[in-house]
């Protein structure tokens, strides 16, 4: 873990639970793509950089999930590097309490206020094209989170952040986190057709051909959608739908999974309603969902 891998003339990544990208600007300066899950991850990243004689001048966060911004504060305090994040992700990076609050739908209990969902605050700036080093481009990847973006380096290596999960992860957990299902499917469709020298997903194997994994993720979205509509043949409330999904897929319920899977299921319900596959109505002071 935390081994350095070269994937282009100036492009590297550090193997970690969420891969950290490195783009070399010159012999001494580099920029990072994400920063790991916490202070300890930041420290390990800095050790790798120090060993190579590199100094980070910027961190480009793909999105604001805690496992991608957790090392920001440590690295910024140690090196003075700038931090950039796209759109709303910048606001969440500045105010990370927004992540567990959004997931829970209110002030989060202490069970959700830990480093898995709540990173330390860092001084981030909005990502704009002129903030990127020469040869590096941002790639919009909306759907998993609000304004998530990937990055294509000058070596034609594309860092895909969390826009797709590995087959093993999907087979184990079934329901990957999605904020906007329609945008997510659009992103997956674009990624499936994308060409690059190499693709580096944050949570899946590096590959030259991303299309099969993109299609597997697309198929899983439609599988989950069909599963939900099947559950809603008779009117069901949200908690009943969630309970059935956890039971049928053999998932373990705890606060983290309740928040993450629950938020995702609400997103599916919204999408299915907007697509005309579900209707929502109130009965006896309860919101119910029914297939059409």
10-residue stretch averages of pLDDT, the chain, 292 residues long:
97 97 98 97 98 98 98 98 98 98 97 96 97 97 98 98 97 97 98 98 98 98 98 98 97 97 98 98 98 96
**Which regions of the chain carry the CATH code 1.10.10?**
230-291
Q: In this structure, are residues 49 and 84 in contact, taking their beta carbons and an 8 Å threshold?
A: no
Place of tokens 């999907």: 170
> Which pLDDT score is estimated for 271?
98
> Which pLDDT score is estimated for 178?
98
> Which pLDDT score is estimated for 66?
98
Q: In this structure, are residues 106 and 83 in contact, taking their beta carbons and an 8 Å threshold?
A: no
Closest CA to 206 of 158, 136, 149, 155: 158
Structure tokens that stand for 155 in this block: 């070596």
Query: Does the global pTM surpass 0.75?
Result: yes
Closest CA to 31 of 135, 118, 166, 110: 135
> Which pLDDT score is estimated for 41?
97
CATH no. for 4-162: 3.60.15.10
Phi, psi angle pair for 198, to nearest 5°: -160, 145
CATH 1.10.10, domain 230-291, yes or no: yes
Q: In this structure, are residues 162 and 248 in contact, taking their beta carbons and an 8 Å threshold?
A: no
**Which regions of the chain carry the CATH code 3.60.15.10?**
4-162
Phi, psi angle pair for 112, to nearest 5°: -110, -5
Pairwise CA distance, residues 12 & 41, whole Å: 17
Pairwise CA distance, residues 128 & 224, whole Å: 35
Pairwise CA distance, residues 43 & 39, whole Å: 6
Pairwise CA distance, residues 222 & 267, whole Å: 13
């Amino acid at each position: 873990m935390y081994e350095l891998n070269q994937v282009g003339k100036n492009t590297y990544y550090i193997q970690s639970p969420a891969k950290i990208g490195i783009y070399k600007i010159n012999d001494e300066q580099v920029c990072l793509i994400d920063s790991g899950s916490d202070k300890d991850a930041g420290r390990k990243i800095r050790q790798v950089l120090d060993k190579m004689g590199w100094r980070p001048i910027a961190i480009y966060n793909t999105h604001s999930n805690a496992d991608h911004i957790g090392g920001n504060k440590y690295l910024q305090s140690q090196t003075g590097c700038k931090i950039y994040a796209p759109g709303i992700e910048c606001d969440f990076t500045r105010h990370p309490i927004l992540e567990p609050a959004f997931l829970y739908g209110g002030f989060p209990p202490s069970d959700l206020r830990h480093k898995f969902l709540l990173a330390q605050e860092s001084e981030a700036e909005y990502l704009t094209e002129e903030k990127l080093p020469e040869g590096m481009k941002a790639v919009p990847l909306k759907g998993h989170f609000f304004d998530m973006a990937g990055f294509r380096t000058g070596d034609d290596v594309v860092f895909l952040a969390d826009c797709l999960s590995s087959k093993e992860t999907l087979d184990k957990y079934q329901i990957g986190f999605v904020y906007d299902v329609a945008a997510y499917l659009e992103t997956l469709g674009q990624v499936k057709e994308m060409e690059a020298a190499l693709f580096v997903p944050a949570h899946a194997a590096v590959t030259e051909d991303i299309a099969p994994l993109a299609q597997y993720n697309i198929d899983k979205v439609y599988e989950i959608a069909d599963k939900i509509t099947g559950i809603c043949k008779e009117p069901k409330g949200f908690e009943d739908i969630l309970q059935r999904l956890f039971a049928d897929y053999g998932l373990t319920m705890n606060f983290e999974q309740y928040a993450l899977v629950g938020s995702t299921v609400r997103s599916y319900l919204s999408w299915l309603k907007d697509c005309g596959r579900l209707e929502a109505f109130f009965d006896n002071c309860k919101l119910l969902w029914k297939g059409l």
